[in-house]
Structure 1
Amino acid sequence: MVLHRQVLCATMLSLASAALGYELIHDYSGNTFFDGWDYYGKWDNLTLGNVTYLTQEAATQQKLTYVNDAGNAIIKVDNFTTVASGERRNSIRLTSQEYYDFGTVWIIDALHMPWGCSVWPAFWSTAPDWPVGGEIDIVEGINTQPNNQFAIHTTEGCYHDNPPNQAGFNIDTNCSQASGCTVGINTQNSYQAGFAAAGGGVYATQYDTSGIYMWFWSRPNVPASLSSSSTSINISDWGTPTASFPNDQACNTTKFFKPQQLIFDITLCGDWAGVPGIYDSECYNAGPHHDCYLDNVVGNGSNYDDAYFEVSYVRTYATGAALAAAQASKTATTSSTASTSSATQSHTQTSDASLPRVSLHGVLFMSMCVAGLIAGSVLPLL
């Protein structure tokens, strides 16, 4: 057993020697975009929205998830079915099968975001035992809100009082409250119709032991490091984060956050977009009832023509221990697959998104192995 551990550690150290940059570990794009995601397949019992989240089979049949002719993934609300009062409208919630730990970066390149009265979309992450393990809201908005809003949610004890080097502005600073620690942005092309009109854009999240940092770039301003290469990234030219949640005395992020799963969802009304006082401020005149559900969800659905994501890709990258663990997992899977050829014949890997998830235990083990090698990294690692 000791020899086995020494060999394994030596192998991981070799892998980690080239792991000081961020290297691609998963690429959700093109015809295999939807590989590696789980469909919720139940009504929205989480935020009490007036939707039923479809299974993969139903979503494919009804074309609520598909890849368009441009090669982009479409994730949308049903905009063609007549819904009677008392019924729910169909929509989508996707959760990545992968868990992403500290030392990773997540990129979403999109051309269109869902918006409109009653619409509440998000691209976000969470640990499985919410709220333990934290939540990170990368893209989120409601109704006709013009700009995106970033947030993190934790259990009690995390605050966001005086963040350094942040381009956005603080809205709420107690991360355990319902709104979480929220950061606003005054860029109208960060969301809604302005986002699509500008050609879309890119959101990036750095999930690190030093903190959680998020950026937004409209299409003309996307950094060259994201435009020129998909296999590795250099974050040195990204500039000041739009939202900055550092690991400091106000919030020890390594205490409040655990490995995260990525999520897309679009709900309708619910316990934010549908709250009367909030809904009325933007959509009071959307219909004769002045009611989120009756004036939007009920009916023929044509008012949801803009309630969709169009996504070019979601890519995830890792460095240091997280990268070495991902590479080791891939190597182990390849060896296992080679030794079971019959299983390989019955299940062909079609997407990098089907790689095994990076476990927390693996990352912790790697941190012991690679600590010496990665001490010179530009970012703190496990």
Structure 2
Amino acid sequence: MQGKSIGGPGPSNCNANYFKNLPGCRPQQVQRSGEWFAKNPGVMAAAWDADGVAVYHIPNAEIPADLSSDTPKPWGRFVLAYVPLDRHSCADIAKPQKIVLNIALCGDWAGGAWLKSSAARRTGYTIGCNADISNPAGDCCSKFVTSNTHDVNGYMKHRAYFSIDYIKIFTPADILSAPPLESAAFKRGGVPLQG
């Protein structure tokens, strides 16, 4: 896989701690918003090999035939982000991954960005509350999402949806075993929810 320079270089320190403003080794990337993705449905794909990790967005109208085979080929023009893996990068930190579908509506990212959003200001849930997801009763985003008003229901009905047709993992033939599959629900901090 060969990456191309997109956007500005990201931080080179791969240690991530969002509470200390250490974002990890952010790749060079094309910045897209949720609104952009909503207006441009397609396939999100990632390829990870010895050269690096690439993230792709392929529009629905341009999905290549090799996507449904077990031999995907890189799709250079669809690259959103690329992290080269060499001795000067995060190669020693990149380990086997798990796929997590996080549908938290007010997590670290959404909750922290809430008060800066013009869309949030239009909801009226920016006064008399804080950006504090550790205290949902006082958090502006959490108050909006959990309120039972006509405005929230209408807002969610027209904006809060996603459609996942399928998830497929391509595993190279030379990998003999894969870790066992797991599924679970977790709350903030990675603590499993007890059902």
The answer to whether the superposition gives a TM-score over 0.5 is yes
Corresponding residue of 1:120: none
More helix by share: 1
Corresponding residue of 2:146: 297
Distance 1:171 1:269, change over 3 A: farther
Corresponding residue of 2:14: 175
**For the residues of structure 2 that align with 1:280 and 1:171, how far apart are their CA atoms?**
27
Whether 1:257 and 2:94 are equivalent positions in the alignment is yes
- The offset of 1:170, in angstroms, is 3.5
Mapping of residues 144-155 of structure 1, within 5 Å: none
The 3-state SS of whatever aligns with 1:315 is: coil
Corresponding residue of 1:248: 86
Does the Cα contact within 8 Å between 1:195 and 1:218 map onto a contact in 2?
A: no
| 1:294-338 deviation digits (Å, cap 9, x = unpaired) | 33332245132232321111111122422xx25xxxxxxxxxxxx
**For the residues of structure 2 that align with 1:172 and 1:264, how far apart are their CA atoms?**
24
**For the residues of structure 2 that align with 1:279 and 1:187, how far apart are their CA atoms?**
17
Mapping of residues 189-338 of structure 1, within 5 Å: 191-192=34-35, 194-198=36-40, 200-226=41-67, 230-236=68-74, 238-240=75-77, 241-253=79-91, 255-275=92-112, 278-282=113-117, 283-287=120-124, 289-290=126-127, 291-300=140-149, 301-302=152-153, 303-305=155-157, 306-322=159-175, 325-326=176-177
* Letter paired with 2:37: F
Mapping of residues 1-382 of structure 1, within 5 Å: 164-166=3-5, 168-170=6-8, 172-173=10-11, 174-177=13-16, 178=18, 179-180=23-24, 181-186=26-31, 191-192=34-35, 194-198=36-40, 200-226=41-67, 230-236=68-74, 238-240=75-77, 241-253=79-91, 255-275=92-112, 278-282=113-117, 283-287=120-124, 289-290=126-127, 291-300=140-149, 301-302=152-153, 303-305=155-157, 306-322=159-175, 325-326=176-177, 358-359=178-179
Does the Cα contact within 8 Å between 2:14 and 2:90 map onto a contact in 1?
A: no
Distance 1:172 1:286, change over 3 A: farther
| 1:192-216 deviation digits (Å, cap 9, x = unpaired) | 3x43444x20111112232211111
Distance 1:273 1:359, change over 3 A: closer
**For the residues of structure 2 that align with 1:288 and 1:248, how far apart are their CA atoms?**
46
Distance 1:195 1:273, change over 3 A: closer
**For the residues of structure 2 that align with 1:186 and 1:263, how far apart are their CA atoms?**
21
* Letter paired with 2:146: V
Misfit runs of 4+, over 4 Å: none
**For the residues of structure 1 that align with 2:72 and 2:109, how far apart are their CA atoms?**
37
**For the residues of structure 2 that align with 1:320 and 1:247, how far apart are their CA atoms?**
21
The 3-state SS of whatever aligns with 1:244 is: strand
Could you tell me which runs of 5 or more consecutive residues in structure 1 were left unpaired when the two chains were aligned. Answer: 1-162, 327-357, 361-382
Corresponding residue of 1:96: none
**For the residues of structure 1 that align with 2:63 and 2:144, how far apart are their CA atoms?**
38
| 1:57-79 deviation digits (Å, cap 9, x = unpaired) | xxxxxxxxxxxxxxxxxxxxxxx
* Letter paired with 1:297: T
Higher RCO, Cα 8 Å, sep 6+: 1
Distance 1:269 1:251, change over 3 A: same
Aligned residues: 153
| 1:167-222 deviation digits (Å, cap 9, x = unpaired) | x324741332433315442566xx43x43444x20111112232211111122232
Which has more radius of gyration?
Answer: 1
After superposition, the CA RMSD in angstroms is 2.9
More strand by share: 1
